[in-house]
Structure 1
Amino acid sequence: MITPSHTVELRPSLRTMGQALVAPVQLLALALLALLVAIQASAGDPRLLWLAGAGLGILVLVGALWRLLGRLQVTGQAVRYRNVVCTRAVPRSRVAEVVLLPGFRDGRGARPSGLLVLLDAARRPLLRLDGLWWGRDRLSAIAEVVGAPVRLVPGELTPLDLPWRNVYELPWRHRHPYLVQVLTSTAVIGGALAAAWLVGS
């Protein structure tokens, strides 16, 4: 929405959050969690309910916090981004270019969700927004509002395609996105296991 002060504010929608939950890596994490539950169930482990409850509780908590706290604001001076773990403000004067990839998708079997990256003069990313959470229509709206030149990258690309296409100067976490997602999912599952072990012991 646009407020009287001309601040554009966006929040994650339930529709885009649902798309994020069914992304390939997230589904893999849920499958691993289900496998662990099945193994404990076959062994007659009483901590089964604690494990399932802890995993579901963490998922619901993260989703609720993202829904409550996640937002992006474009003001006359800066682009402000906030999620569950961090807050970032990018001065609009530092944004030299906006790269919009409407055909970007999370993996080979996923639907295109889009990607938006704000770059500085050295082509380094100042802010990266994944359409998996925000939606392609919102990314297009943000690209227009920021005020910097917009470069449209056509075609359907995956995270592994970005380095050879030289879209921008990719940091380590952008060059190995699947590894980052696997490590994050492993941490969530490990937290659920630890909580189940502590409560059930």
Structure 2
Amino acid sequence: MMLAVPGPLPAAALELRPSLRRYLGTVKWSLLPIVVLLAALLFRGGGFGAIVSLSVIVLASAVVPTWFRRAAIAVTADEVAVTGLLRTRRVPRSAVASVITVALPRTHKNSRSMAHLYVLDGGGRRIARMKGSRWVEDDMRRLIATLGVETRKLGRLPSARALARRYPHAVPLLERYPVLAGALVVVPAVAAIFALSLELSS
């Protein structure tokens, strides 16, 4: 588990960005079925399949690199700014009450765990988050050192849902219920396969 680096730096400016290399190395095998499906749609799905496949490829090629270029967590003497794909959320630095570090499994509870970091306000609401699939541990340590607030190390938990039982405002809904997140991927994939089978049988 991560070790905090002591010593707050209240006047220091810090800007951290996620690692595209870390992300690609983490998700490459889970993306393989999607790549195979897109290839099948592109080469065997006729006009409809080609349109669907190319649309997904173009969208993913635009959104993913754009997010990694824009995404950042910045800390100044006065505020913490979290930039996502579309907007930047700014909160006073004084609102930061604690940092939670936890190791969560990538998929099922017996899979390899990765470090996660949550920055919370006094009410336990999430200000910022660093997922191990996108952020490197050295940057997590730098953020802990810069914020200089109480750090709670939870060790390994079996799921994000287990973390949500302790900190209900820290974990997004789709991560508490991975079945919902899976449905958002599986249902469109099944629909695409069904459409492809109809196209090939016609």
Unaligned runs of 5+ in 1: 193-201
Give the superposition deviation at 1:177.
Answer: 4.9
Preserved CA contact (<8 Å) 1:125 1:169: no
TM-score w.r.t. length of structure 2:
0.71
Q: Alignment partner of 1:119: what SS? A: strand
Preserved CA contact (<8 Å) 2:12 2:146: no
Range with bigger deviation, 103-112 or 81-90:
103-112
Inter-CA distance 122–79: structure 2 relative to 1 (3 Å threshold): same
TM-score w.r.t. length of structure 1:
0.71
Identity of aligned residues (%): 25
Inter-CA distance 66–161: structure 2 relative to 1 (3 Å threshold): same
- The 5 A counterparts of 1:68-79 are 68-79=69-80
Q: Alignment partner of 1:6: what SS? A: coil
Inter-CA distance 12–47: structure 2 relative to 1 (3 Å threshold): same
- Aligned alpha-carbon RMSD (Å): 3.3
Q: Alignment partner of 1:133: what SS? A: coil
CA distance in 2, matches of 1:10, 1:181: 30
2:37 aligns with 35
Range with bigger deviation, 105-114 or 138-147:
105-114
Preserved CA contact (<8 Å) 1:100 1:143: no
1:17 aligns with 23
Q: Which has the higher strand share?
A: 2
1:137 aligns with 138
Q: Alignment partner of 2:104: what SS? A: coil
Q: Does 1:176 align with 2:174?
A: no
1:199 aligns with none
Preserved CA contact (<8 Å) 1:23 1:106: no
Inter-CA distance 48–151: structure 2 relative to 1 (3 Å threshold): same
What letter matches 2:14 in structure 1?
A: V
2:8 aligns with none
Q: Alignment partner of 1:58: what SS? A: helix
Preserved CA contact (<8 Å) 1:131 1:139: no
Preserved CA contact (<8 Å) 2:13 2:75: yes
Q: How many residues align?
A: 179
Q: Alignment partner of 1:107: what SS? A: coil
2:106 aligns with 106
